[in-house]
Amino acid sequence: MPLDASEHDGPTAPDGTLWWELTVEPGTRSKPFGQERRLAAWLWFNKEIGDIFTMNELRDALGPDIVGKSEHLNRRLRTLRAVGWVLPSNKDDGSLRPDEYRVQVKGARYWLAEDRRAHRPFAPSARVRREVFLRDDSRCVVCGIAAGESYPGEPNNKAALTIGHRVPQERLRTRRTADDIDNWRTECARCNEPVRDEIPDPRQHDEVLAQVRRLNRANKRTLLGWLQRGERTRSELDRVYDHARVLTHNEKEDLIAYLQSSAGSSS
């Protein structure tokens, strides 16, 4: 069974080899130890915040198997930037020479399994998406609208549902916290549009509880009912509309004709 590298926080792997000198995954015979992982370990243990490094320095440090053009290593640096590392180059900072990079922020300890798992994007499968929609009653948890409904005052603007985050993935990564289905929620495209990192975290239990305690007894009972049902109380008419709005076009036309005749509508 492969060893979990996350149990070893020092510069050496379980067998005593420096992380950046490994070529095979600890605990395995032939599984390659990725270059991005070696690169992250070398930078972490050999460079301090503000230090400068060069491509030649990386090649010398990581050994003869790191060959090819600088673009090869640049791709590895892009992988690290995607998991929280800030490594400006001459293009970002004119004070650096063309072959220089600076360690501005150290991100994920990418050589450790635990950190890689925490930074792995959680992409919901079709099954997970269905579960989230079902759990949220196929309504946007932010504004309450359902797919195909018009936004208030905008009869020609129909809502489409998507999957969004309670807490943005990038914010979770900075906290070394993994994303999961509990962090996903149903949102309409409009509520999903804002730049997520600019939105504060959702209110926590203690904050909401303080507000609940200020409610009178009647309002507490009403809120209890809403929470137990998983939705704000909606009328029988609301529920019938939910079913009617997803009929086929022809079925809705037949239903409209029936309502016009039975309800005496002139429209």
Q: What is the pLDDT of residue 103?
A: 94
pLDDT score, position 198: 47
Q: What is the CATH number of the domain that holds 83?
A: 1.10.10
- Is position 233 within any domain? no
Residues 72 and 45 in one domain: yes
Q: Is residue 236 part of a domain?
A: no
Q: Domain tally for the chain?
A: 2
pLDDT confidence of 64, banded at 50, 70, 90? low
Average pLDDT estimate for 31-36: 87
Task: Calculate the average pLDDT of the chain.
Answer: 80
Q: Who has greater pLDDT, 14 or 247?
A: 14
Same domain, 134 and 98: no
Please report the pLDDT score of residue 201 as a whole number. Answer: 57
Considering the domain architecture, whether residues 83 and 144 belong to the same structural domain is answered as no
Residue 105 domain boundaries: 5-118
Report pLDDT for 3.
Answer: 41
- 218-262 pLDDT, tens digit each: 888 888 988 887 666 767 887 788 778 767 778 888 888 888 888
Say what the pLDDT of residue 238 is: 78
In terms of domains, do 110 and 126 share one? no
pLDDT value at residue 19: 92
Of the ranges 64-68, 194-198, 230-234, which is most confident? 230-234
DSSP letters for the chain: ----GGG--SSB-TTS-BGGG--B-TT-SS-B--HHHHHHHHHHHH--TT-EEEHHHHHHHH-TT--S-HHHHHHHHHHHHTTT-B--BTTT-TTS-TTEEE--B----TTSHHHHHHTS-----HHHHHHHHHHTTTB-TTT--BTTPEETTEEEEE--EEEEESS-HHHHHHTT----GGGEEEEETTTT-S-GGGSPPPPPHHHHHHHHHTS-HHHHHHHHHHHHHTS----HHHHHHHHHTTS-HHHHHHHHHHHHHHTT---
Give the pLDDT mean for 96-115: 88
